[in-house]
């Protein structure tokens, strides 16, 4: 027992640990700046809430470092079923926020099951892929898609949580790539994609809510502006650009607090940060995220078994997708799908689930040496 403990401390992944904490603290500062109310005595308490969630997140992280991650493979199926049931419950009885049902009330707390579902999904997929001896063939691909991916994808589209459903798909494909696909399977995927594109596109488009359609139109041409849907993007670009090289300075940004920028403390938090800290600050922040992601990939390489490898890959891809889509959207080079910036955006459930995911990553790296029995 003691020997293992000593090894755990020696091998602990401090880099990932410190990086996510630093990014989260920057996030809390930015939430404070974004939600401050100039000229009013009462200040928004959101940043305090976020700080409390950070503390809860740290506990979650430690909890998910404390046991051998192999346990996750054993609970993957029940966890997956439970996750699906939660998603179903959201559809049946969830709270509505912004025209979409994503919240479940648990007494006084409301939480978004889809936030935790991503991790459960990755665990399930890792378990399945790690059991395969060889690269993924056509039949296996179909089976995985039908058994693991299809149902949650439909449930998420129904909510509708466009962001998470796309993220789930991207994570699925990138994990397949990491595992390796047989050439025939690659060809099949490509053909199916090309053939079904018009159909899928049509189904997706008619299934989208108006605000989602507007976002896509606005992405293609922000200046078209029918009833101001390019507004988000334009204001975000103004905020970021006006930061120039060194930024306007902490608490000196104007786009957020004067409410020109919508969703300033959630999806567009990067714009608030870039306005106040400029190119220099943004560069540092990018490096932090790059560090987190490259470290994650390194953990994939070093993991002691196939399950750990797939798990680390899935989590790292999840962080990457969120980062690129979110920052890309604030910069106007990606469509506006409402997904948060990991560790920075305001949101308790998301922060907790991200910390737990980071905990799993640290867990895999910390236990990268096969233990003696």
Partner 1 sequence: MPTEKNSPERIRIIAYILIAGFAIILVRLWQLQILQGSELRKISESNRLRVIGVPAPRGIIYDRNGIALVKNVPYFCASLIPAEFKSDNLAPLSKLLDLTEEELEDKIEKAEQSPFTPTRLKEGLSLKEVSYIEARRSDFPGLIIEIEVNRGYLFGSTGSHLVGYLGKMSPKQAKAAEFRDVPSDAFVGQWGVEKLFDRTLRGTAGQRVIEVDALGREIRLLMEKPPVKGEDLSLSIDIALQSEAEKAFEGRTGALVALKPYTGEILGYISSPSFDPNKFAKGIASGEWDLLSKDKNLPMLNRAIQSQYPPGSTFKIIMAIAGLAEGVITDSSRVECRGGISYGKWHFGCWRKGGHGSVSLHRALVESCDVYFYDVGKRLGIDKIHEYALKFGLGKETGITLGPEKKGLIPSIKWKMEAKKAQWFLGETFVNSIGQGYVSTTPVQMAVMMSSVANGGNVYRPTILKGSPPKLVMSAGVSPETMEKVKDALKGVVNEPGGTGWVAKSNVTTIGGKTGTAQVVGIRKDSKLLSEKFRDHAWFVAFAPVDKPEVAMSVLVEHGGHGGSAAAPIAKKAIEAYMLPIEKKRELARVQN
Report the site for partner 1 in 125-164 (rule: CB under 8 A).
Answer: 130
Q: Report the candidate in 99, 122, 110 with the shortest Cα–Cα distance to residue 356.
A: 122
Q: Which long-range contacts (CB under 8 A, 24 or more apart) does 144-148 make?
A: 145/172, 148/80, 148/121, 148/124
Given a contact cutoff of 8 angstroms between Cβ atoms, the answer to whether 362 and 8 are in contact is no
According to the binding rule CB under 8 A, does residue 238 interact with partner 1? yes
Residue closer to partner 1 by CB (options 74, 259) is 259
User: How many Cα atoms occupy the beta-carbon half-sphere of 203 within 13 Å?
Assistant: 7
Report the interhelical angle of 2-11 vs 348-366 (nearest 10°): 110
Q: Total residues at the site for partner 1 (CB under 8 A)?
A: 61
Residue closer to partner 1 by CB (options 62, 280) is 280
Report the site for partner 1 in 49-108 (rule: CB under 8 A).
Answer: none
According to the binding rule CB under 8 A, does residue 348 interact with partner 1? no
According to the binding rule CB under 8 A, does residue 250 interact with partner 1? no
Q: Do you find a cis peptide bond into 274, omega within 30 degrees of 0?
A: no
According to the binding rule CB under 8 A, does residue 252 interact with partner 1? no
Tell me the C-alpha distance between 236 and 255, whole Å. 8
Q: How far is the CB of 37 from partner 1 (least distance, A)?
A: 8
Q: How far is the CB of 324 from partner 1 (least distance, A)?
A: 5
Residue closer to partner 1 by CB (options 109, 146) is 109
According to the binding rule CB under 8 A, does residue 369 interact with partner 1? no
According to the binding rule CB under 8 A, does residue 243 interact with partner 1? yes
Which range in 80-88, 198-206, 300-308, 340-348 contacts partner 1 by CB under 8 A? 300-308
Tell me the C-alpha distance between 308 and 3, whole Å. 22
Quick one: how far is CA 175 from the chain centroid?
15
Burial of 189 (C-beta count, 10 Å sphere; 0-12/13-18/19+)? middle
Tell me the C-alpha distance between 106 and 211, whole Å. 28
Q: How far is the CB of 123 from partner 1 (least distance, A)?
A: 18
Q: How far is the CB of 119 from partner 1 (least distance, A)?
A: 20
Tell me the C-alpha distance between 179 and 306, whole Å. 9
Q: Report the candidate in 319, 311, 296, 363 with the shortest Cα–Cα distance to residue 63.
A: 363
**Binding string, residues 200-229; x marks residues near partner 1 by CB under 8 A:** -------------------------x-xxx
Which range in 16-24, 173-181, 184-192, 339-347 contacts partner 1 by CB under 8 A? 173-181
Q: How far is the CB of 73 from partner 1 (least distance, A)?
A: 13
Binding-site ranges for partner 1 (CB under 8 A): 37-42, 44-45, 130, 174, 177-178, 180, 225, 227-229, 231, 235, 237-245, 254-255, 257-260, 262, 274-275, 278-279, 282-283, 286, 289-290, 293-294, 297, 300-301, 303, 305-306, 309, 313, 320, 324, 327-328, 331-333
């Amino acid at each position: 027992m003691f020997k293992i403990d000593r090894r755990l401390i020696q091998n602990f992944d401090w880099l990932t640990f410190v990086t996510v904490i630093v990014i989260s603290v920057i996030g809390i500062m930015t939430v404070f700046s974004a939600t401050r109310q100039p000229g009013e005595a009462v200040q928004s308490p959101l940043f305090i809430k976020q700080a409390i969630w950070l503390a809860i997140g740290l506990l979650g992280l430690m909890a998910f470092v404390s046991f051998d991650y192999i346990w996750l493979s054993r609970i993957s199926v029940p966890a997956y079923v439970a996750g699906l049931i939660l998603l179903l419950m959201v559809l049946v009885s969830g709270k509505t926020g912004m025209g979409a049902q994503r919240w479940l009330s648990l007494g006084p707390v409301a939480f978004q099951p889809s936030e935790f579902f991503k991790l459960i999904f990755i665990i399930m997929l890792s378990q399945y892929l790690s059991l395969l001896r060889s690269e993924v063939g056509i039949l296996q691909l179909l089976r995985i898609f039908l058994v693991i991916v299809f149902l949650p994808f439909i449930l998420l589209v129904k909510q509708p949580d466009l962001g998470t459903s796309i993220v789930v798909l991207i994570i699925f494909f990138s994990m397949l790539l990491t595992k390796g696909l047989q050439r025939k399977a690659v060809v099949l995927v490509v053909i199916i994609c090309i053939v079904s594109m018009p159909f899928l596109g049509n189904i997706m488009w008619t299934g989208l809510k108006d605000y989602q359609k507007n976002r896509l139109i606005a992405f293609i041409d922000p200046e078209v502006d029918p009833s101001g849907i390019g507004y988000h993007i334009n204001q975000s670009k103004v905020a970021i650009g006006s930061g120039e090289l060194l930024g306007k300075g902490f608490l000196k940004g104007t786009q957020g607090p004067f409410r020109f920028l919508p969703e300033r403390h959630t999806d567009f938090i990067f714009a608030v940060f870039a306005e106040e800290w400029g190119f220099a600050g943004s560069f540092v922040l990018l490096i932090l995220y790059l560090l987190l992601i490259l470290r994650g990939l390194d953990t994939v390489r070093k993991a002691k078994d196939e399950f750990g490898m797939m798990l680390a890959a899935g989590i790292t891809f999840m962080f990457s997708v969120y980062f690129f889509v979110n920052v890309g959207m604030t910069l106007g080079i990606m469509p506006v799908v409402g997904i948060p910036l990991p560790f920075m955006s305001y949101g308790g459930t998301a922060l907790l689930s991200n910390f737990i995911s980071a905990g799993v990553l640290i867990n895999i790296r910390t236990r990268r040496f096969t233990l003696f029995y």
